[in-house]
């Protein structure tokens, strides 16, 4: 059984590149596994799915209870991509880091090292990470951006007395870079050559990979248990296209396992909300990149207005929240008419980062009980006139004020809900 985490000292080291290559190699070898991402990331799991050929899940050590993490990770082979640096978590205490997740699931860690600007000093870095937290086992290293065969020899010599093996390496190449935008990588669905790119990186990594050693790494066996979920309705309509791609697989799967049926529709294709929907969910995504198309989607707009007028439950988060508003101003200052179901105006003309975990207390009957969530966007709220949906605290429990809106049965906020009733 192979259960392992791919982590790094910091963001930008190449752990996504290495993770995708390893997943493709295991898939080629016919080794089944569950792909996963540490934390609330929406983008990397979609890349995992292309590489692995199966659904990737989020495992969030800050927001999720251990029972849910174990259920989602499953009892079999598991490849988890860490988030940020190995020990980087939320708030002042760094809670919910990739290291915390590795400890919860007893996962050995493969550390991806960006070797572009280091040689012998790499030994101090690797041994520092290996000794920093006794709960975490750094089992091996993979070097990325190695400059030459001579450079590789220096790196290997530096680690020769550490007891931490080098499993593989990738030589430095501009061909291994993926395009990025303000929230991270450009979405997998927008990358036409993604499958071929993963194959090329997998080919390069496989030339040096010690696959038997990788497959020998394992954690403790995980016992799973059924955790019931209460769906918001028996028929849930979910927007899904390039503007609305940020929905958590564990949330949708939980609704289905509880007996709800899910229907998907595309606002960008001007599709109406499916008939007989008891609940409409507009997930996050990149509506700002498709604002003119959304503004012109008359069938979508009319169907949403009809459902709102009849009192149907509608929920939008982050990008979906902005679309529920009256208008969205793009980066060039152009205003685009949105659904007008919430008294909200948002803008990207002066982007400002809003980032972090959120502890939410509902202020309406749309939700009950405490909610664990995450906020990550660059939008500015110009106006938000109406009753708030949540009272929000950050990861340290500091009060951030109220957030979101609810008008009738239509509600939304910038927070992406991870766990809660």
- CA gap 112, 109 in Å, rounded: 9
DSSP 8-class letter at 39: S
User: 54, 215, 318, 411: which one is catalytic?
Assistant: 318
Beta strand pairing status for 180-181 and 184-185?
Answer: antiparallel
Structure tokens at 151: 């450079």
Distances 99 to 5, 132, 286 between C-alpha atoms, Å: 9, 11, 30
φ, ψ dihedrals at 350, nearest 5°: -120, 85
313 CB-side CA count, 13 A: 15
Cα gap 35→80, rounded to integer Å:
6
3-class SS of residue 129: helix
Active site residue 318: yes
Sign of the torsion formed by the C-alpha atoms of 406, 410, 413 and 416: positive
Question: How far from 248 is each of 102, 284, 377, CA to CA, in Å?
Answer: 21, 10, 17
Asked if residues 8 and 14 have their Cβ atoms less than 8 Å apart, the reply is yes
- Would strands 279-282 and 313-317 be described as parallel, antiparallel, or unpaired? parallel
Q: Which two tokens stand for residue 412?
A: 């939304």
- Can you list the alpha helix ranges (DSSP code H) found in 88-239? 98-104, 122-132, 149-159, 194-206, 211-216
User: Which residues on adjacent β-strands are paired with residue 113?
Assistant: 143
Catalytic site positions: 318
């Amino acid at each position: 059984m192979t259960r392992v985490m791919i982590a790094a000292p910091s963001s930008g080291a190449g752990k996504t590149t290495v993770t995708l290559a390893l997943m493709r190699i295991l898939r080629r070898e016919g080794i089944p596994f569950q792909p996963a991402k540490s934390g609330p990331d929406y983008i990397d799991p979609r890349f995992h799915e292309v590489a692995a050929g199966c659904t990737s899940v989020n495992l969030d050590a800050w927001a999720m209870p251990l029972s849910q993490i174990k259920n989602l990770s499953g009892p079999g082979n598991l490849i988890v991509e860490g988030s940020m640096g190995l020990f980087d978590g939320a708030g002042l205490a760094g809670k919910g880091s990739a290291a915390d997740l590795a400890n919860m699931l007893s996962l050995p860690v493969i550390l991806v090292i960006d070797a572009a600007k280091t040689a012998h000093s790499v030994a101090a870095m690797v041994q520092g990470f290996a000794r920093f937290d006794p709960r975490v086992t750094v089992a091996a290293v993979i070097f990325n951006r190695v400059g030459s065969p001579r450079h590789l020899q220096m790196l290997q010599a530096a680690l020769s007395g550490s007891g931490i093996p080098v499993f593989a390496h990738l030589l430095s190449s501009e061909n291994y870079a993926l395009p990025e935008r303000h929230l991270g990588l450009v979405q997998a669905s927008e990358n036409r050559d993604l499958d071929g790119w993963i194959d090329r990186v997998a080919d390069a990594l496989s030339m040096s990979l010690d696959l038997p050693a990788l497959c020998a790494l394992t954690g403790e066996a995980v016992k799973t248990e059924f955790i019931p979920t209460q769906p918001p309705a028996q028929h849930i309509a979910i927007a899904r296209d390039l503007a609305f791609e940020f929905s958590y697989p564990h949330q949708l799967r939980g609704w289905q396992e509880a007996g709800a049926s899910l229907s998907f529709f595309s606002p960008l294709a001007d599709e109406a909300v499916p008939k007989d929907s008891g609940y409409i969910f507009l997930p996050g995504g990149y509506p700002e990149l498709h604002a003119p198309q959304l503004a012109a989607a008359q069938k979508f707009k009319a169907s949403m207005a009809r459902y709102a007028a009849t009192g149907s439950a509608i929920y939008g988060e982050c990008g979906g929240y902005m679309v529920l508003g009256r208008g969205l101003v793009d980066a060039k200052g152009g205003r685009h008419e949105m659904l007008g179901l919430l008294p909200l105006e948002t803008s990207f003309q002066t982007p400002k980062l809003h980032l972090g975990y959120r502890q939410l207390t509902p202020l309406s009957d749309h939700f009950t009980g405490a909610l664990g969530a995450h906020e990550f966007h660059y939008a500015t709220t110009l106006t938000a006139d109406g009753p708030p949906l949540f009272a929000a605290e950050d990861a340290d429990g500091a009060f951030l004020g109220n957030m979101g809106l609810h008008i009738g049965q239509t509600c939304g906020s910038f927070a992406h809900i991870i766990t809660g009733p």
